[in-house]
């Protein structure tokens, strides 16, 4: 089970604003999904190596040669609020 408090905590971690009715629905739906998922928590998998990646690759290196990157103006083209060659955002401390 996951309750309203936990939903609000996780939503804050995920930087998601949830409307009041969304909080209840999310609590219900996540609890439903976790009921199914919880069965893996109960499995005895001691000593099994976790798989984070299926292709056996180690340390993919390339020569450290400078290459042109995306020009600044191209990188800023899609920005909602470009200013002075940078991305402008609201103040972190306004509230």
Partner 1 sequence: MTPADAGPPTRGAGGDELLELTAGQALSRIEAGDLGADEYFDAYADAAAGDELNAYLWRAERGGGDAGGENLRGAPIAVKDIFCTEGIPTTAGSRILEGYTPPYTATAVARLADAGARVLGKTNMDEFAMGSSNENSAYGPVLNPWDRSRVPGGSSGGSAAAVAGRLAPWGIGTDTGGSIRQPAALCGIVGLKPTYGAISRYGMIAFASSLDQCGPLTRDVTDAAILLRAMEGRDPRDSTSVGIEGGVELPSREDLEGLRFGVPRELAAGAEGIESSVAENFKATLALIEELGGELDEFELPSTRNGISAYYVIAPAEASANLARYDGVRYGARDREADDLLGMYERTRARGFGAEVKRRIMLGTYALSSGYYEAYYGQAQKVRTRIAQDFSAAFERFDFVVTPTSPTVAFGLGDKTDDPWAMYMNDQCTVPMSLAGIPAISIPSGLAEPEGGGPQLPVGFQIAGRAFSESRILDAAFALEQRIGFG
Q: Which residues are at the interface with partner 1 (CB under 8 A)?
A: 2, 6-7, 10-11, 13-19, 22, 26, 29-30, 32-34, 36-37, 39-41, 43, 45, 48-55, 57, 60, 62, 70, 74-75, 77-81, 87, 89-95
Which residue, 24 or 81, is less far from partner 1 as judged by CB? 81
d(CA 87, CA 83): 6
Q: Are the C-beta atoms of 88 and 82 separated by less than 8 Å?
A: yes
Least distance (Å) between residue 66 CB and partner 1: 14
Question: Is the alpha carbon torsion for 21, 27, 30, 36 positive or negative?
Answer: negative
């Amino acid at each position: 089970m996951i309750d309203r408090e936990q939903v609000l905590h996780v939503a804050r971690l995920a930087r998601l604003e949830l409307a009041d009715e969304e909080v209840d629905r999310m609590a219900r739906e996540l609890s439903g999904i976790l009921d199914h998922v919880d069965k893996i928590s109960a499995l005895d998998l001691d000593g099994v190596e976790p798989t984070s990646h299926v292709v056996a690759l180690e340390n993919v290196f390339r020569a450290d040669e400078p290459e042109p990157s995306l020009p600044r103006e191209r990188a800023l083209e899609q920005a909602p609020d470009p200013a002075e060659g940078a991305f402008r955002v609201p103040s972190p401390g306004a509230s």
